[in-house]
């Protein structure tokens, strides 16, 4: 990528980041967006690494009136590995917390200033922090769900892969065996390698193809370490066998999402492996529609996710409810 292209990509990223952050701030002004309205407390800017850096902070959403240790969600925001933050994704933390989950909503280092594996290293540090400190926030460290959308789905799936497959990367070796109770990779960019493939799946405007190339390149071009875990979908599609069973996964995506194909491929890979999963495709929805919680199908996707997690956390309850129906 030449200097002119790099400057154009950076300017475009800044503009998109500003627009989405602005929309997030405006939405936060609505009375229903106040955590207290949902009996949720928020502990902000908790460091999960001893660097003093903003990108190593997280927010914790804690339901006020739940009794006993609560299930936990580690939420990893999207933004093409390049933009956005925990603050732009407050609605994700609140969405899970109002359902009774303790949520750890994290920042991480962004590309292109920080190439792979920086973001994954940070997500791994945050996961360790959650496992070690969930109980201090009334969370149950034995019931952790890893979730994220877009680039966050990539990082969520990479963490899950490292927990189930024995890996040699030093920043994830100690996560082997720390399998989450479930993983929610929403509308994920799950294979950073070969971004041209998206144009083979469906007709896409040139500017979208350009954005996909920019996102993938910013994350891995020039990386000084093997990038296998930047494309965790390829590991799950391979013949490699995990030493720990993959957790249940709930995949949600809109059928107008330009990277929809990765979600279908993940579902097929999990089906082939006999791993519990659910794929929900929402008609007419765009990329990361789950964050636009005022939309009808976004609200439906949250209800579907809650039902999936209810079954994972208490499968006996589902049997009892079916018997009563």
CATH number at residue 233: 3.40.50.1820
Total domain count, the chain? 1
Residue found under tokens 């929900």: 280
Per-residue tokens: 270: 């999990």
Question: What pLDDT, on the 0 to 100 scale, is given for residue 7?
Answer: 45
**Of the candidates 199, 200, 195, 198, which has an alpha carbon nearest to the alpha carbon of residue 213?**
195
Strand order in the sheet with 139-149: 40-47, 57-63, 102-106, 70-76, 139-149, 182-186, 249-254, 277-282
Phi, psi (deg, nearest 5) at residue 300:
-65, -40
Cβ neighbours, 10 Å, residue 220: 20
Full domain range(s) for residue 121: 3-324
**Crossing angle of the two packed helices 3-28 and 206-220, in degrees rounded to 10:** 100
**Of the candidates 291, 271, 278, 279, which has an alpha carbon nearest to the alpha carbon of residue 253?**
279
Task: Decide if 229 contacts 169 (C-beta within 8 A).
Answer: yes
Q: What is the pLDDT of residues 207-234, one digit of tens each?
A: 999 999 999 999 999 999 999 999 999 9
Question: What pLDDT, on the 0 to 100 scale, is given for residue 199?
Answer: 87
**Of the candidates 127, 109, 86, 95, which has an alpha carbon nearest to the alpha carbon of residue 290?**
95
Indicate the length of the chain as a whole number: 325
3-state SS track over the chain: CCHHHHHHHHHHHHHHHHHHHHHHHHHHCCHHHCHHHHCEEEEEEEECCCCCCHHHEEEEEEECCCCCCEEEEEEECCCCCCCCCCCCCHHHHHHHHCCCCEEEEECCCCCCCCCCCHHHHHHHHHHHHHHHHHHHHCEEEEEEEEEEECHHHHHHHHHHHHHHCCCCCCCCHHHCCCCCCEEEEECCCCCCCCCCHHHHHCCCCHHHHHHHHHHHHHHHCCCCCCCHHHCHHHHHHCCCCCCCCCCCEEEEEECCCCCHHHHHHHHHHHHHHCCCEEEEEECCCCCCHHHCCCCHHHHHHHHHHHHHHHHHHCHHHHHHHHHHC
Residue found under tokens 């990277």: 259
CA pair distance 123, 117, nearest whole angstrom: 10
Residue found under tokens 């003093």: 52
* Regions of the chain where pLDDT drops below 50: 1-7, 9, 11-15, 17, 24, 26, 29, 318-323, 325
Burial class (CB in 10 A: 0-12, 13-18, 19+), 218: buried
The Cα-based distances of 176 to 73, 172, 303 in angstroms read 19, 7, 31
Per-residue tokens: 200: 């083979």
Question: What's the whole-number average pLDDT of the chain?
Answer: 90
Q: What is the pLDDT of residues 236-249, one digit of tens each?
A: 999 999 999 999 99
Question: What pLDDT, on the 0 to 100 scale, is given for residue 25?
Answer: 58
């Amino acid at each position: 990528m030449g200097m002119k292209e790099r400057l154009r990509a950076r300017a475009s990223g800044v503009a998109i980041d500003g627009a989405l952050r602005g929309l997030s701030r405006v939405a936060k002004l609505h009375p229903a967006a106040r955590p207290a309205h949902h009996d949720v407390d928020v502990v902000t800017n908790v460091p999960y690494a001893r660097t003093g850096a903003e990108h190593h902070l997280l927010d914790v959403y804690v339901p006020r009136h739940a009794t006993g240790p609560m299930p936990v969600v580690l939420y990893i925001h999207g933004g093409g590995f390049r933009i956005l933050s925990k603050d732009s994704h407050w609605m994700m933390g609140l969405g899970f917390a109002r359902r009774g989950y303790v949520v750890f909503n994290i920042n991480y280092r962004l590309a292109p200033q920080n190439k792979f594996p920086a973001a994954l290293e940070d997500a791994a540090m945050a996961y360790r922090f959650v496992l070690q400190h969930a109980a201090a926030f009334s969370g149950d460290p034995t019931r952790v769900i890893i979730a994220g959308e877009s680039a966050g789905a990539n990082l969520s799936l990479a963490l899950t892969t490292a927990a189930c497959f024995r890996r040699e990367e030093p920043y994830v070796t100690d996560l082997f065996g720390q399998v989450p109770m479930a993983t929610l990779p929403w509308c994920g960019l799950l294979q950073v390698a070969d971004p041209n493939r998206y144009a083979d799946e469906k007709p896409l405007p040139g500017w979208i193809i350009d954005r996909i190339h920019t996102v993938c390149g910013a994350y891995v071009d020039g990386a000084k370490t093997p990038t296998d875990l930047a494309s965790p979908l390829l590991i799950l599609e391979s013949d490699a066998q995990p030493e720990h069973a993959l957790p249940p996964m709930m995949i949600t995506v809109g059928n107008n999402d330009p990277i929809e194909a990765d979600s279908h491929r993940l579902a097929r890979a999990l089906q082939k492996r006999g791993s519990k999963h659910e794929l929900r495709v929402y008609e007419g929805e765009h990329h990361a529609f789950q964050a636009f919680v005022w939309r009808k199908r976004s609200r439906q996707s949250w209800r579907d996710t809650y039902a999936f997690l209810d079954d994972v956390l208490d499968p006996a309850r589902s049997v009892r409810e079916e018997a009563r129906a």
